[in-house]
Each structure stands twice: as structure tokens, then as C-alpha cells.
Amino acid sequence: MSEANTNGSPNGGATTTVADPPREKLTKKAITADHPTWCPGCGDFAVLASYYKVLEKRNIDQEKIVTIAGIGCSSRFPYFVNGHGAHFIHGRAVPLASGISLARPDLHVFLFGGDGDGFSIGGNHVDHGGRKNVNLTYFIMDNFVYGLTKKQTSPTSPIGFKSKTDPQGAIDQPVNPMKKLIAGGATFVARTHASQVNHMIQMIERATDHQGFSVIECLSECVEFYPGAFDPANPRKGGSFELIQEKKWDNTPEDELRHDVTDELAAYKLAQLPFPGVFGVFYQSDRPTKNSLEKKWIEQSREKVGNGSDVEVLQRTFDKMK
């Protein structure tokens, strides 16, 4: 997810090199801000713990961590992380995070939110973030319900789910997150479960390493308004957590049957499996990011005006307007 780690202007203007002072290793204590206020047992606690773990393990410079979210229980993440961040508008976190990523490619932009935030009100933004392949990591805590507003049908609620908006049971076909994300153009699409902490950490790490719009859907139980929703994929509750077997490219007959993460059609086939489906990386592509394409375009434009600093380029533009 992170590109160049520079001290200067991310857009290639005049740079001032400032030596980093020696720093201590990032600790959980250093990155922990407020205590979460979620209901006891909410799946989102484990997601937050996994996020802390990755930040700590990767020893990411604290001032380079950006935690952005929309609105919802799951969107409360920015309050709990000691770094930059914003609890933004419902469904509008992707454009904010995209702007940050494009303007400051040296930062690590993480985005958190719920199924309502990402697939309902913000669904269109998610498609465009994917299409543009903006370099950031988006973690969607899918609990199949609107938790914060106390149990309305969400875009991922299954048919028959009884809620305040569908007292007779939901009748609309739910969104299939994997299919939507792949079709939208996201270049890293994975699925995990909040009861599987090691798997969650692995997925966040792989998404963090990916250059481009990386999205993880995580089944995260709302114990208050949809208890037991994800038991079928939780071995501790009698379910089975079935992992995607990725190709090892080792020329063995078994490998023929394994999943090629670059094969979009194979990813759709996995996404078609009945609930609770499979977990892991469905799809990954190395399509260039908007960040890298835009950087090239900025460099070419700057060359045309004699490689001046940002201020000089701006001044020339103003002069032309006189």
C-alpha cells in the first residue's frame, strides 16, 4: 500500500532532506488512543487488535499512519488509534482517503467501515476507488446489519432477515461483496472472519504490501442485532473456516486444482459458493495505481515548465492569467 517514503514534496517539487531522529520501536501502547465503546463481544474488537498488531509488527512510523472511516459502529476506528485520522461522513470515506493517498503518497492510508457505509450509501465511491486503483487499504467489517442505528436491513443482509426496516423479513437480493469489489476494479480483494485473528493479520499485511486499492471484507458479528450470523464459518461454534488454497506454481498435479489469484473468472467462481463460502485472497492484480500514473503525469508537466518548485509553477500559472 505504501509507496515512496520521502521527506520532500510528494509531487516531486523542491525537497528539503531532514534526517529522521532515532526512534523507538512502535508499541501497542503508543498507538492506542481511546478505549472502544462497542458492545461486549462485538467482532470489531478483534479487528482493532489485529490492526494494532500489524502497525506494531511493521513498525510503521507513527506520523505516517492515517486511519479514516465513515459512520457506523465499525467506523469508530480513528478514535482508537494514535496517529492521523478522521471520522468522516457516512459513505464518503473513500474519496477523503483517496485525496490523502494521492496528495501524500508517503503516508499509509487505512480505511475502516461497515457494510452499510461501503456497499450502500458509499457503494458508488468504492467502485470508483477500485476503478482508479488508488493506493490504500480498505477494511470492511461486514455484520449484515446497520448496527449503529439499531438494526435496519443492510445491503448484505440475507433474504428473510427480520429488521426494523423489514419486519416481515428482507426480500431484496443481497450484495455479494467479492463480486462487487472485483467487478468494480479493486486490485486486491480478500475475505476474512473476525474470530480468526491470525488470518485477519495475514490479510491486513498482504493488503498493506499491495500497491493499489486493496479491500478486505471481514465477517464481524454484531452480537446485539445479529448474533450468531457467522457461526457457520466459526470452528469454535461448530462451523468450518475454509481457506482458499492458492497456487504454489510448483508443477504438481495438486497445484492444478489450486486458485490462481490473478484469474478474475476463477475469483468469481469462488465468490459464487454458498454462504459461508471460502476465505483468503480471491483476486490480485498489478495494474498501475492512480498514484503512479498521476506522478508520471505531474513530472512530465513539471518538466515542460523547467522543473521549477511548486511555488514557481504556481507563480507561472498566475502570470499567464494576467
Binding site for ligand SF4 (CB under 6 A): 38-39, 42, 44, 73, 143, 147-148, 222-225
Long-range contacts of 257-264 (CB under 8 A, 24+ apart): 264/182
Q: Could you say whether residue 74 binds ligand TPP (CB under 6 A)?
A: yes
Q: Could you say whether residue 143 binds Mg ion (CB under 5 A)?
A: yes
Stretch that binds ligand TPP, among 139-147, 167-175, 264-272, 314-322 (CB under 6 A): 139-147
Q: Could you say whether residue 71 binds ligand TPP (CB under 6 A)?
A: yes
Closest distance of CB 90 from ligand TPP, Å: 3
- Looking at beta carbons only, is 164 or 248 nearer to ligand SF4? 164
Closest distance of CB 121 from ligand TPP, Å: 6
User: Phi, psi at residue 62, to the nearest 5°?
Assistant: -60, -35
Amino acid (1-letter code) at residue 32: T
Q: Could you say whether residue 114 binds Mg ion (CB under 5 A)?
A: yes
DSSP string, 48-87: HHHHHHHHHHHT--GGGEEEEE-SSSGGGHHHHBSSEEEE
Chosen residue from 67, 143, 153, 208 binding ligand TPP by CB under 6 A: 143
Greatest distance between any 2 Cα atoms in the chain: 73
Residue 67: exposed, middle, or buried by beta-carbon count in 10 A (0-12, 13-18, 19+)?
buried
The single residue listed with the C-alpha cell 458492545 is 39
User: Out of ligand TPP, Mg ion, ligand SF4, none, which partner does residue 223 contact, by CB within 5 to 8 A per kind?
Assistant: ligand SF4
Query: Which residues does 158 contact at the CB level (< 8 Å), separation at least 6?
Result: 144, 170, 174, 275
Residues that bind ligand TPP (CB under 6 A): 71-74, 90, 113-117, 121, 141, 143, 145-149, 154
